[in-house]
Structure 1
Amino acid sequence: MTGNPSPSASGHAPRTKADVFAFFELLAQDNPDPASELTYGNDYQLLVAVVLSAQATDAGVNRATRELFRTVATAEDMLELGEAGLKQHIRTIGLFNTKASNIMALSAMLIERHNGRVPQDRDALVALPGVGRKTANVVMNCAFGMETFAVDTHVFRVANRTGLARGKTPDAVELKLDKLVPQPFRMGAHHWLILHGRYVCKARTPECWRCVVKDLCGYKHKVLEPRGRSAT
């Protein structure tokens, strides 16, 4: 027997409030303290890191910001560094030219409109150059402790694949998550889903054989053994 997808794998999508509670309870038991894997020292650095993370890995962003954040801790520091200086630090990150331009512009706007501080309001955050709804939700959750649901590619995939919160757009998935995720899991929910998608429920081959929520997952083609492994 090989680890080919099995259309008859057991498990069902979370259909009831009890199922949803159990889904997150299992994720929480597996990882009691979920958190962003981005490295930052304050709210401003978090905002910059999340902007840089679009279409890039957290690990790649952390490598690029390791030296940057030693000298840049505020919007004022960033403007003093200048766009050319910023590009030298982030040139290994995809779309670094556009991201550098946006970071300089948002830094100037923070100083002009918010006294250099990162606003806690979603509309104010989204008004900043390079900041979309997902970025705003991450900042609101990680920096200000708000119950937001940032839907990146991992969250979108896990929510749809498992049947937890199916939707055709990130906004649709976010709305469903906001309605169904119960306490005490609301603060950590998007972190659990991101990490689960990054390390277990992967895009090409979900590692269902080590998934703690596989019995509460509606995916019809679970991969119950690693590829190429034969039964003994």
Structure 2
Amino acid sequence: MNAAKRYEMFVRFRAANPKPETELAYTTPFELLIAVLLSAQATDVGVNKATRKLYPVANTPQAILDLGLEELTEYIRTIGLYKTKAKNVMATCQMLVELHGGEVPQDRESLEALPGVGRKTANVVLNTAFGQPTMAVDTHIFRVSNRTGLAPGKNVDIVEQKLLKFVPKEFLQDAHHWLILHGRYTCKARKPECWNCIQVDLCDYRSKTPAPAGA
């Protein structure tokens, strides 16, 4: 995909959704951090169901520490890998209290030092909570980047670096959300809805799907 097509792709994304947002429910950087930590191998809908009950009871690092591991585990039991995630959340809260005054740090190094927080989670928090132009490459973004020809790469690190290089700067802040939503609802893994895609004429995907009967 050339520069002109890439630019047009994001012009269309912006026209269709001028202010894209994460589908994870949160009101503070800490709530977002915990929601993203819990979202690994889980759906945003599933995470939101759990945090909708948890956050009114405990939505600060100290409050979760006061809640304790057993109580926290009960709140997130419906989420995949909940036992490991509960331990990571508790350890993360401990570090936030001890090292950062209970606040979520705004730099990558400090975020990635937190238990259960990898590069992708750090990128989401930096982008969504703190407005930094980062690119959190999940399975949706990886698929869309390769399938469309936007930023093909063999692994998430390569795709991330290509996206940071290729996405026009004026779109970089929101590109993460546009690409995730596009992969989640249109450019799906098994049956991409090419017939319902605003980027179909720009996309390099050869096996474009036709509209189903009656559509």
TM tier, shorter chain? over 0.9
Q: In 2, distance between residues paired with 1:19 and 1:158?
A: 14
Q: What are the ranges of 5 or more consecutive residues in structure 2 without an aligned counterpart? A: none
Q: In 2, distance between residues paired with 1:163 and 1:215?
A: 12
- 1:230–1:143 Cα change, 3 Å: closer
Question: How far does the alpha carbon of each residue in 1:67-110 deviate from its partner, in whole angstroms, 9 at most, with x for none?
Answer: 10112121001101111111111100000000000000000001
Q: In 2, distance between residues paired with 1:124 and 1:106?
A: 11
Counterpart code for 2:170: P
Alignment of 1:63-74 (within 5 A): 63-74=49-60
The equivalent residue for 1:87 is 73
Higher relative contact order (CA 8 A, sep 6+): 1
Counterpart code for 2:111: L
C-alpha deviation, 1:183, in angstroms: 2.8
Q: Taking structure 2 as the reference length, what is the TM-score of the superposition?
A: 0.98
1:50 aligned to 36, 41, 55, which one?
A: 36
The equivalent residue for 1:135 is 121
Counterpart code for 2:126: M
The equivalent residue for 2:18 is 32
- 1:230–1:69 Cα change, 3 Å: closer
Aligned length: 215
Q: Which runs of 4+ in 1 moved over 4 A?
A: none
Q: State whether structure 2 residue 199 is matched by structure 1 residue 213.
A: yes
Q: In 2, distance between residues paired with 1:190 and 1:115?
A: 29
Compute the RMSD of aligned alpha carbons: 1.1
Q: In 2, distance between residues paired with 1:28 and 1:56?
A: 27
Q: What are the ranges of 5 or more consecutive residues in structure 1 without an aligned counterpart? A: 1-13
The equivalent residue for 1:147 is 133
Q: State whether structure 2 residue 99 is matched by structure 1 residue 119.
A: no
Q: Taking structure 1 as the reference length, what is the TM-score of the superposition?
A: 0.91
1:179 aligned to 160, 165, 179, which one?
A: 165
Q: In 2, distance between residues paired with 1:194 and 1:185?
A: 14
Aligned partner of residue 171 in structure 2, secondary structure: coil
Larger radius of gyration: 1
Question: How far does the alpha carbon of each residue in 1:168-224 deviate from its partner, in whole angstroms, 9 at most, with x for none?
Answer: 111110000000111321100010000000000000000001100011110010002
The equivalent residue for 2:143 is 157
